[in-house]
């Protein structure tokens, strides 16, 4: 099936008891057994839930994978991947990534004896010098949050395979509609399903997708044992969101392109970070591995001061100042004090994330209204 058809039909089977076309919300904590150990495949809702299973099937289908697992948040999904490791193991991670991932790595897992190397992955060959016998995981995201850098997934996967290292790709910014890392050699794909998969800013959820059954079984054991599972209502909401992922992403891409070019041509705007510009350093790779360039844009102003940026951030009417991204409504964000505040300032600046950087999650409103809103706010 084509991607749009997959989104609508993935994981959707008529309810066998009623014929309901939408997956029921199985709002139950436990399941009655005919005798000890004799049941219908469901024992306890932390371990199994029919609504969650339908979502996990859908996640696998839209990512061209075999197995999906749903978690209570994107960070919980990331946490599960890190729990595959042992003290003394090493991780090579992108130096430009979501602040919550950096916080989890540095503030939680470092104290359990896992060592992290944060490197520039825009050149895949940078990875090789950090590989040693203790390297067990490469963690990357592309496009990156918030600088919209592009990582060549196939090139990184080749290095990972040659050294028997797991590769996990955070695919949140692209979504499965624009990019499928498993097809490019990744072992695990991670999503904050809160974002584009849910798409309506009404649910917190995470997801992992993979092809290897042994890896799935390890991660399912962690999911069941550690308990960071989503409730059935949340699973229903993400299932519903997936059904319109393709049409929403098409509009996100259309609006993103218009706003990126508007910003680039504005005399008061400094640098615009968007991977759809043909002079973007990662443009060739993005065009190769993505079906579109998405609706995530970051920019600075010519007056590159925090005060001017703060004024703009508080002046929009259609763009809402809020954390998160990927919803139908447009959001404006200040990474240095919001999504990436947990990264030390010197690390942020070293990676190019300035105090005055502004991030946009371009929604699916009329592009003209969004442009007018930014035009008035920039002044």
- Residues marked active site are found at 46, 98, 170, 195
Residues 351 and 345: their CA atoms lie apart, in Å, by: 10
Peptide bond into 143 cis (omega under 30): yes
Neighbours of 260 (CB within 10 A): 25
- How does DSSP classify residue 104? I
Q: Is 301 exposed, middle or buried (0-12, 13-18, 19+ CB in 10 A)?
A: buried
Contacts of 55 (CB under 8 A, 6+ apart): 11, 23, 68, 70, 235, 236, 238, 239
Residues 6+ apart with CB under 8 A from 308: 301, 356
Torsion of CA 18, 19, 23, 27, to 10 degrees: 0
CA-only gyration radius of the chain, Å: 21
Using omega within 30 degrees of 0 as the cis cutoff, is the peptide bond preceding 215 cis?
no
* Residue 99 Cα to chain centre, angstroms: 12
3-state secondary structure of 159: helix
Strand (E) or helix (H) holding 242: helix 232-243
Please give the Cα distance from 116 to 70 (Å, whole number): 25
DSSP 319: S
CA dist., res. 248 & res. 201, Å (int):
13
């Amino acid at each position: 099936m084509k991607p749009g058809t997959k989104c609508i039909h993935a994981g959707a089977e008529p309810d066998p008891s009623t014929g309901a076309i939408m997956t029921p919300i199985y709002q139950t904590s436990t399941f009655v057994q005919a005798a000890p150990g004799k049941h219908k495949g469901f024992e306890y809702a932390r371990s199994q839930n029919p609504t969650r299973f339908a979502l996990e099937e859908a996640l696998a289908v839209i990512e061209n994978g075999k197995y999906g697992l749903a978690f209570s948040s994107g960070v919980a999904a990331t946490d599960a991947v890190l729990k595959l490791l042992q003290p003394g193991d090493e991780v090579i991670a992108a130096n430009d990534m979501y602040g919550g991932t950096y916080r989890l790595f540095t503030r939680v897992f470092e104290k359990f004896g896992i060592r992290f190397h944060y490197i520039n992955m825009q050149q895949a060959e940078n990875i090789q010098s950090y590989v040693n016998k203790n390297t067990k995981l490469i963690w990357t995201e592309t496009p990156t949050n918030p600088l919209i850098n592009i990582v060549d997934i196939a090139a990184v996967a080749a290095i990972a395979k040659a050294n028997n290292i797991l590769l996990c790709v955070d695919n949140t910014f692209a979504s499965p509609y624009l990019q499928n890392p498993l097809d490019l050699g990744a072992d695990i794909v991670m999503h904050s399903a809160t974002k584009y998969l849910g798409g309506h800013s009404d649910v917190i959820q995470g997801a992992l997708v993979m092809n290897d059954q042994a890896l799935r079984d390890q991660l399912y054991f962690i999911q069941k044992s550690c308990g960071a599972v989503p409730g059935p209502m949340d699973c229903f909401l993400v299932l519903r969101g997936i059904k319109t992922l393709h049409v929403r992403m098409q509009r996100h891409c259309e609006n993103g392109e218009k706003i990126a070019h508007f910003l680039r041509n504005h005399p008061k705007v400094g640098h615009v970070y968007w991977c759809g510009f043909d002079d973007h350093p990662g443009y060739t790779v993005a065009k190769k591995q993505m079906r579109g360039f998405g609706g995530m844009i970051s920019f600075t102003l010519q007056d590159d001061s925090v005060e001017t940026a703060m004024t703009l951030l508080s002046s929009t009417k259609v763009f809402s100042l809020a954390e998160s991204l990927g919803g139908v409504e447009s959001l404006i964000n200040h990474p240095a004090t919001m999504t990436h505040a947990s990264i030390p300032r010197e690390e942020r600046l070293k990676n190019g994330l300035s105090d005055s950087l502004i991030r946009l999650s371009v929604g699916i409103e009329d592009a003209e209204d969004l442009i007018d809103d930014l035009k008035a706010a920039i002044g």
